[in-house]
Amino acid sequence: MNTAFLSVGTNMGDRETYLRSAITSLRATEGIELIERSSIYETAPVGVTDQADFLNIVVRLTTTLAPLELLAVCQRIEQELGRERTIRWGPRTADLDILLYNDDAIESETLSVPHPRMRERAFVLIPLTELAPECTDPVTGRQFRDEPAIQEGGVVLWGAIEKDGTGDEEFV
């Protein structure tokens, strides 16, 4: 069994519904078991700044899928949720990225793990370290909580996790 961390972000339409839909799709995918998700964080856009703010979460999952199969699932979910890739770093209904896959360092034409820009992005590092405070970068050996970008600010807690008594996590 493999452990992976994914980031999920959205800045179009009903952002909370898009996050819920992405989680529902992950849970419904054979070979994936969603273990936990972070709180929801709101952040200003990166790259193209003339667009709505993003909601971001990180999820931890276990999977029997190989890295490229997991990437295909992420891209399928994005497409099902209406993502159009017209502007790099532009607005999107759903953005699912593989941050980490076990302790592997993967470099191919279609996939880089750890995600190549995650060390620079507080909106990824903060929810990741919420789930896994001791998580270490498999390339640098540094703990992600020690990355300078985590201190940059601009990441606002939008919704915490609430347990509903059945063990399921709910959005607040």
Give residue 75's pLDDT.
96
Indicate which residue of 15, 37, 95, 119 is catalytic: 95
> Coil, strand or helix: which one is 12?
coil
Indicate which residue of 15, 37, 83, 119 is catalytic: 83
Give residue 153's pLDDT.
78
Alpha carbon distances (Å) from 79 to 18, 44, 85, 86, 92 = 12, 23, 9, 13, 10
DSSP structural state of residue 164: -
In this prediction the pTM is: 0.90
Alpha carbon distances (Å) from 49 to 41, 88, 152 = 17, 12, 17
- Is 15 an active-site residue? no
For 2-171, CATH number out of 3.40.50.1820, 3.30.70.560, 3.40.50.11900, 3.40.50.12240 equals 3.30.70.560
Of the chain, the percentage scoring pLDDT greater than 90 comes to 76
Which residue(s) pair with 63 in the sheet?
2, 32
For the cut 50, the answer to whether the pLDDT of residue 37 exceeds it is yes
Give residue 167's pLDDT.
46
Angstrom distance (rounded) from CA 110 to CA 86: 18
- Is 92 an active-site residue? yes
pLDDT tens string 122-144: 999 999 999 999 999 999 999 99
Domain spans of the chain?
2-171
- Is 146 an active-site residue? no
Angstrom distance (rounded) from CA 131 to CA 133: 6
Indicate which residue of 37, 60, 92, 121 is catalytic: 92
Residue 45: cis peptide before it, omega within 30 degrees of 0: no
Confidence grade of residue 166 (pLDDT, cut at 50, 70, 90):
very low
Question: What are the residues whose beta carbons fall under 8 Å from the beta carbon of 77, sequence distance 6 or more?
Answer: 22, 25, 26, 94, 96
Residue 120 CB neighbour total at 10 angstroms: 13
- Is 83 an active-site residue? yes
